[in-house]
Structure 1
Amino acid sequence: MMINLIKHFVLTEKSTKLVVNNQYTFDVDLRLTKTQIKGLIQELFNIKIIAINTHILPRKKKRVGTIQGYKTRYKRVIITVKSGQTIDFFPEPKKEESSIKAS
Structure 2
Amino acid sequence: MDQLSRVIVGALVTEKSERLRAEHGQYTFRVATGATKIEVRRAVEKLFKVHVTDVRVMNYQGKKRRMGMFSGRRPDWRKAVVTVKAGERIEALER
TM-score (norm 2): 0.86
Deviation per CA, 1:8-45: give whole Å up to 9, x if none.
Answer: 11111110000121100000010001001111111110
Q: Which residue of 1 aligns with 2:86?
A: 83
Alpha-carbon offset, residue 59 of structure 1: 2.5
Change (3 A) 1:27 1:85: same
Name which one, 1 or 2, has greater alpha-carbon Rg.
1
- After the TM superposition, which residues 6-85 of structure 1 pair with which residues of structure 2 at under 5 Å, given as runs? 6-20=8-22, 21-85=24-88
Aligned-pair identity (%)? 27
Cα distance, 1:49–1:90 mapped onto 2, change above 3 Å: closer
Relative to the length of structure 1, the TM-score reads: 0.80
In 2: Cα distance, 1:91 partner to 1:69 partner: 36
Question: What displacement does 1:80 show?
Answer: 0.4
Q: Which runs of 5+ in 1 are unaligned?
A: 93-103
Could you tell me which runs of 5 or more consecutive residues in structure 2 were left unpaired when the two chains were aligned.
none
| Bigger fraction of residues in strand | 2
Which structure has the highest helix share of the two? 2
Q: Which runs of 4+ in 1 moved over 6 A?
A: none
Partner of 1:3: 5
